[in-house]
Amino acid sequence: MQTVAKLIDTSLCIGCKACEVACQQWNDQEYTLGTFQNTYQTMPDLAPNFWNLIKFRETEIGGAQSWLMTKYQCMHCADAGCIKACPSPGAIVQLGNGIVDFNRDNCIGCGYCITGCPFDVPRLSPKTKKVYKCSLCSDRVAVGLEPACIKTCPTNCLTFGSRTDLQFLAAKRAEELRADGFAGAGVYDGPGVGGTNVLYVLKHAGRPEEYGLPKDPTIPWTVSLWKGPLKWLGNTVFIGGILTALFHFVKFGPKEEHHRG
Amino acid sequence: MDKRVERFSAPERLTHWLVALCYLYAALSGLALWSRAMWWLAPVTGGGENLRAWHPVAGAVFAVVLAVQFRRWAAQMKIDADDRRWLAASPRYAMHDETGVPESGRFNAGQKMLFWLQSSSAVVLFATGIVLWFPESMPRAARLASILLHPLAAVASMGGIIVHIYMTTIVVQGALHAMTRGYVSQAWARSHHAKWYRQLSDR
Ligand code: HEM
Ligand code: SF4
Ligand code: SF4
């Protein structure tokens, strides 16, 4: 099965938020009214019932005023921190096509995945005590449809397809942008997490923080230490402790009462 | 018949077993999350969703009752010069060769070390456990630290508990009886805690 991906060409995003609406509609989620913040930021943040956010940033880059609109959702990492952290078998599954999907029947609501995710994506619902995030419309993709956000995007900012094809397309778009005078244009695809299945074309690829994207995302080191060396240390202590006790019992056995002068 | 000596009062025994009960549940439910190989403990401790809800509650009760136990025992747990010599001689103690092992007071130096190990790891378990309990309302840095330190403290604590259970149920015959029924024989007291026994008989 080939790995699917989504390409977000931020240079073409007009911030219309049609993708936010399409996501809510397809996933049958209620609309929660935000508060007006005097900017083009409509919704404040991702939420258990809101999986696709357009981040609006007003910045100055190279002396030029920039309005950056960035679609934000689960990145469907190849080396996914959420899966690494999750203790409950089957609560997070990585499909053959690369989609990272939550299976809420198996989720115990511990929130470990939130801490493991380098992109701060999963959200815990206080009501259901389960986590939620973008599924890359795994239900639509399974029957040959493209994700709802992609279907609805009016500007071709979003493209869906095989990851290999989209990598090629992304590199081409970045080159076009460089030819147009955006010398810093490039592709953002998370090599630190084995590559993400959501690819970005950024005009200022060297400064992803300006877009609200983490610079050089990797699985947090405390999470790697916890799931790696600490597991070995712990298992050595547990098994070693029990074996030592067993050895001691066989060799020395219980203490006899003794009498001192 | 040998005369009886009271070793642990009823309140001491009650706190100890309350701590032990909460600890047992916290440890088993925690181990279910520790690794996939231990996930079979999840149905044993109530199922994934329930253990996620109950583990911190059992942990919190454990911490509160342990604090009571700490207040009661801390003064008796100070490590003195004899204890330091006891620790130096502890390999011989483990091999049942008591030459050069100083006499112990009410608690021997090994028990004192266990007391301080459990008390300090409980502080870490409690502080980091609260963070893991409410991940949505905790800063990311605190969660990243807690996800590592909580199981680390649990490993230290459970390592100590393995030794503790082995010593008190198998190696030192009569120790378990002291904690269940509260008393020991004079011979037992003289044999295992000679300094304490003398203090008692001097009174
Ligand atoms: C002192 C109060 C404690 C609190 C508030 C607390 C809280 C928590 C919370 C919230 C979790 C996350 C999952 C869940 O909710 O089940 C957790 C995991 C865990 N707890 Fe505790 N806990 C406490 C004490 C203990 C004790 C006494 C032990 C055993 C020695 C323990 C061992 C563990 C382990 C092994 C894990 C899993 C760590 C991993 O996934 O690697 N906890 N604890
Ligand atoms: S972005 Fe976060 S939630 Fe999505 S796959 Fe990566 S680690 Fe998991
Ligand atoms: S909240 Fe659910 S999906 Fe996330 S780590 Fe815990 S069990 Fe896994």
B41: domain range? 4-76+89-201
User: Tens digit of pLDDT for each residue in A51-85?
Assistant: 999 999 998 887 888 899 999 999 999 999 999 99
Whether residue B150 is contained in a domain is answered as yes
Q: Find the mean pLDDT for residues B21-29.
A: 98
Specify the ligand 1 atom closest to the Cα of B23. Answer: 27
Cα gap B101→B87, rounded to integer Å: 9
Interface residues of chain A, partner chain B, Cβ below 8 Å: 85, 87-89, 106, 108-112, 114-115, 120, 124, 126, 129, 220, 222-223, 225-226, 230-231, 233-235, 237-238, 241-242, 245, 248-249, 252, 254-260
Instruction: Take residue B153 and report the two structure tokens written for it.
Output: 């403290």
Percentage above 90 pLDDT, chain A:
86
Q: Is the pLDDT of residue B2 over 70?
A: no
CB proximity list for B121: less than 8 A, separation 6 or greater: B153, B154, B156, B157, B160
Cα gap B55→B60, rounded to integer Å: 9
Whether residue B82 is contained in a domain is answered as no
Please count the structural domains in chain B. Answer: 1
What pLDDT score does A62 carry?
A: 77
Pocket test for ligand 1, best of B31, B33, B38, B55 (most atoms within 8 A of CB): B55
DSSP state of A77: B
**B203 — pLDDT class (breaks 50, 70, 90):** low
Q: Whose CA is nearest to atom 3 of ligand 1?
A: B59
Q: Is the pLDDT of residue A256 over 80?
A: no
Q: Is the pLDDT of residue A246 over 60?
A: yes
A26 with A174: CB under 8 angstroms?
no
**A258 — pLDDT class (breaks 50, 70, 90):** low
Whether residue B81 is contained in a domain is answered as no
Whether residue B56 is contained in a domain is answered as yes
Report the candidate in B120, B107, B122 with the shortest Cα–Cα distance to residue B168: B107
Whether residue B84 is contained in a domain is answered as no
- Measured in degrees and rounded to the nearest 5, phi and psi for residue B21 equal -65, -50
Q: How far is the CA of A89 from the centre of ligand 3 (A)?
A: 9
Q: Is the pLDDT of residue A259 over 70?
A: no
User: Tens digit of pLDDT for each residue in B105-139?
Assistant: 999 999 999 999 999 999 999 999 999 999 989 99
Using CA coordinates, name the residue in chain A closest to B135: A111
What pLDDT score does A30 carry?
A: 86
Q: Find the mean pLDDT for residues A165-169.
A: 97
Out of A110, A252, A260, whose CB is closest to B95? A252
What pLDDT score does A261 carry?
A: 39
CATH (domain of B131): 1.20.950.20
Q: Whose CA is nearest to atom 23 of ligand 1?
A: B59
What pLDDT score does A252 carry?
A: 92
Query: Domains in chain A and their CATH numbers?
Result: 4-216 (3.30.70.20)
Whether residue B129 is contained in a domain is answered as yes
**B89 — pLDDT class (breaks 50, 70, 90):** very high
B117 with B160: CB under 8 angstroms?
yes
Q: Find the mean pLDDT for residues A99-118.
A: 97
**Beta partners for residue A66, in sequence order:** A59
**A117 — pLDDT class (breaks 50, 70, 90):** very high
Q: Is B50 left (phi over 0), alpha (psi -120 to 50) or beta?
A: alpha
pTM of the model: 0.93
Cα gap A135→A197, rounded to integer Å: 12
Which of A33-37, A214-218, B109-113 is least confident? A33-37
Tokens 């300090």, residue?
B120
Judge if the beta carbon of residue A15 lies within 6 A of ligand 3.
no
Report CB contact under 8 Å: A248, B94.
yes
Q: Find the mean pLDDT for residues A192-221.
A: 95
